[in-house]
Amino acid sequence: MEQNATTRDGDAAFHEMYRPQFHFTAGTGLLNGPNGVVYLAGEYHLFYERNPFGNDWGNMTWGHAVSSDLMHWHALPDAIEPDHAGTVFTGSAVVDNENTAGLQSGDEPVLVAIYTAAGGSSPESDGQPFTQCLAYSNDRGRTWNKYGHNPVLPHIVGENRDPKVIWYAPGQIWLMALFLDGESFALFTSPNLKRWTRIQTLSLRGSECPDFFPISVEGEPNEERWVFMAANGRYLVGSFDGTQFVREDGPFTLDFGANYYAMQTYGNIPAADGRRIQIAWMAGGVYPEMPFDQQMSIPSVVTLHRLPEGLRLFRNPVAEIESLYISGQEWRDLSVAPGENPLSEIDGELFDLTIEVDCGKSAPSAFGFRIRGEEIRYSRVDQTISCLGRSAELNAIDGIVKIRVLVDRTSIELFANDGRLCMSFCFTPPASDRSLEFFAEGAPVHIHTLDFHTLRSAWSDGTADQ
C-alpha cells in the first residue's frame, strides 16, 4: 500500500475526483457498515467496518474517526483488530457510566465495544464460530484492550452477529439486539455486559445489523414507542416493557433509494440535545481508481410522527450541515415554463437545495432536476418521485410538494415532505459534467420557494485531517 498526501494523479488527498466532500470515507481501503456510534465528551465517535489492506472486502477491522459536529471528521488509528477468534464484524459501543463491567481504570467513564468475532473468516480463526466479544478503552477511544474472558456470548446459530447494545434506564440493565440467522433476531439483557440472557426471539424480513431504540411521538413527549430495524431499513413500531417487544405496526420502509444500509443510531446523546441521530453505509457506490471504496450517508435525525395512517419515522439531515454553506440564493413565487432553467447560471458540485412546488396553482405533468445528467423527476400525474431507477409515491400536502436534495460528488440524497419520504443514492457522474437544471413539463410550474446553498468541502477548512 502507498500512503501519500497526494494520489498518483496528483490530486490532494481527500480531494480526488470521486472523493465525497461532505460524506465520510476511509482515507484508504474499503468501508462497509458503521459500528459503535456513540457520543462521549464532546465527540461523536464513528467506528466502521474497514479493510485496512485494500478496496475489496476482507480483514475486517474497526476503523475509527471522531467529530465534534458530524461534518468534519478526524481519523484515529484503527480501534479493534482481528485475532485468533476472527476478523472484527459489526457491533456497537456504550459508555459504561456506572462501571457495571468493572473495566474502568481511571476517572473517565470507560467506553465498551461489543462486536462480533467472525470465526472462520481468516486463516488464524479457521474452524472457530461467530461469537460476541468485548473490547474497552479508558482514554476516550484512543487505545483499546480486548476483554480477557471473551466471548461474552457464545455461538448460538449460523452467522449470529452485529450486537447493538443500549442502556435500558428503567430496568438499570443493558439491552442487546442481535441478528441470529435468516430473518431471525433476538433480544438479550445483561447487568454487566458480560453475562447475557435471551429474553425474546423476533423475526423481520431483512437480515443483519439490527437497531432497537425508544423514541417519542413528535409533539407527544409522553407517548414513547420502540423501533426495531434491520439492515435494509425495514422497521417495526411497538412497545417494550423491559421483558418483551410487542409489535404494534409495520414493517415499513425507511428509505426508498438504492443505497441506504446497515444504519445505526447514536448512543449516549446528552438529554439536552435529545436527537436520535442515524448514520448508514451507502452500500454499492462505484469510485473508479480511488484509494478508498464506499461512503457513509449524511448523518440524519430520525423522528416519529403520528399520521392518519399510523406512526411513521421521518428522517432529515442534521442541522450541522449548515456550517458548510458558502453561498445561498432563494427564489419566491417563481413561475418556470417548459424549456426554462432558473439554475443555468449556477456552477459547483456540492449542493443542498429545497424546493416547494405549489401543485394547486400549477398543472405541469412533471417537473424535477437534472443534476450532472441524473434526473430527479416528480410526476404530478402519478404522484411519484423517481431517481436512478427507483420510484416512490409522494403526495402533495395542502397542494405543496417539498423536496430537499443533497448532492455530493458521488451521492444524491432526497428528503421529501420534511423527511416523510427518503431516498438515498450513490452515483458516479462524468467529471466534466457540472450541469444543473430545474425543468417543467407540460405546463409552467409554480415554485412557492426554492432555497439553494453551495457547500464547501469538509476537508478544505483545516478542521478535518485524515
Please check whether residue 454 is in contact with residue 327, taking contact to mean a CB–CB distance below 8 angstroms: yes
Considering the complex, what minimum distance in angstroms separates the CB of residue 141 from ligand FRU? 20
Cβ atoms < 10 Å from Cβ of 235 = 24
Question: Using the rule CB under 6 A, which residue among 7, 25, 100, 116 binds ligand FRU?
Answer: 116
Check the CA dihedral 353-356-362-367 and report its sign. Answer: positive
> Does residue number 445 form part of the binding site for ligand FRU (CB under 6 A)?
no
By CB under 6 A, is residue 140 in contact with ligand FRU? no
**Which of 229/447 has CB closer to ligand FRU?**
229
Query: What kind and span of H or E run contains 310?
Result: strand 310-317
Are 23 and 282 a contacting pair, CB within 8 Å?
A: yes
Site for ligand FRU contains 262 (CB under 6 A)? yes
Q: Does 255 bind ligand FRU (CB under 6 A)?
A: no
Between residues 232 and 411, which has the closer beta carbon with respect to ligand FRU?
A: 232
33 contributes a contact to ligand FRU by CB under 6 A: yes
Binding mask 210-249 for ligand FRU (x = CB under 6 A): ---------------------x------------------
How many residues touch ligand FRU (CB under 6 A)? 13
User: Percentage helix, strand, coil, to 5, in the chain?
Assistant: 5, 50, 45
Q: Which one of 11, 43, 83, 208 is in contact with ligand FRU (CB under 6 A)? A: 208
Q: Please work out, in degrees rounded to the nearest 5, the angle formed at the alpha carbon of residue 154 by the alpha carbons of 153 and 160.
A: 85
Query: What are the φ and ψ backbone dihedral angles of 298, each rounded to 5 degrees?
Result: -70, 135
Min dist. Cβ of residue 118 to ligand FRU (A)? 7
Q: Among all chains, which residue has been given the C-alpha cell 468475532? A: 117
Nearer to ligand FRU, 66 or 178 (CB): 178
Within residues 315-334, the interface with ligand FRU by CB under 6 A covers none
**Cell 418521485 belongs to residue:** 385
Does 78 interact with ligand FRU (rule: CB under 6 A)? no
CA dist 177 and 161 (Å) reads 10
Q: What is the per-residue binding string for ligand FRU in 39-58, x denoting contact by CB under 6 A? A: ----------x---------
Supply the minimum distance, in Å, between the C-beta of residue 236 and ligand FRU.
Answer: 19
Residue 237 C-beta: closest distance to ligand FRU, Å: 23
Quote the DSSP letter at residue 319: G
| From candidates 25, 32, 297, 424, binder to ligand FRU by CB under 6 A | 32
Residue 208 or 375 with smaller CB distance to ligand FRU: 208
Backbone angles phi, psi at 330, to 5 degrees: -135, 145
Torsion of CA 90, 95, 101, 105, to 10 degrees: 120
Of 113 and 366, nearer to ligand FRU (C-beta) is 113
Q: Are 381 and 387 in contact (CB under 8 A)?
A: no
Phi then psi for residue 319, to 5 deg, are -65, -20
Contact 416, 401 (CB under 8 A): yes
Which spans of this chain sit near ligand FRU (rule: CB under 6 A)? 32-33, 49, 60, 89-90, 116, 161-162, 208-209, 231, 262
